[in-house]
Amino acid sequence: MADNQTQTPPPVQPPAAAGEDKTIAIVAYLTLIGFIVAIVLHMNKKTRLGAFHLRQLLGFFLTGIAVMLGAIVLAFIPILGGLCIFALWISMLALWIMGLIAAINGQMKPMPVVGPLYQKWFGTTFD
């Protein structure tokens, strides 16, 4: 008796990012100097993963400057200003960690909330 059930093949996993792709993405997250080194490496061999994370970091650094300027203004508000500054920097740390984890895993996963905006604003940068 023939079995009428057809088995579906397991889903195909996307290929893992090549070492060079991940290297550029990871190095970009390691300080401003790492970002500059990653740009130089990316100019020698352009990859989609590298360009994606360089755009994420460019937006992240610009957001960091905006947070710094906002912190200066918030510093003049007693107690509440300090709490807001703390929340902003913790949020920046969380975004950085999420971006770094995505780079380590070779994923093109944008940072929450602001990541899609960075890709939209800097869409052709580093291509």
Please check whether residue 114 is in contact with residue 95, taking contact to mean a CB–CB distance below 8 angstroms. yes
Please tell me the distance from the alpha carbon of residue 57 to that of residue 80, in angstroms, as a whole number: 29
Q: pTM of the full predicted structure?
A: 0.77
Please report the pLDDT score of residue 22 as a whole number: 87
Q: Is the pLDDT of residue 89 over 90?
A: yes
Residue with more model confidence, 2 or 31: 31
**One-character DSSP codes across 40-70:** HHHHHS--HHHHHHHHHHHHHHHHHHHHHHH
Please tell me the distance from the alpha carbon of residue 22 to that of residue 59, in angstroms, as a whole number: 19
For the chain, what's the residue count? 127
pLDDT digits (tens, 9 = 90+) for 46-82: 889 999 999 999 999 999 999 999 999 998 988 899 8
Q: Could you tell me which of 61, 60, 39 has the C-alpha nearest to residue 127?
A: 39
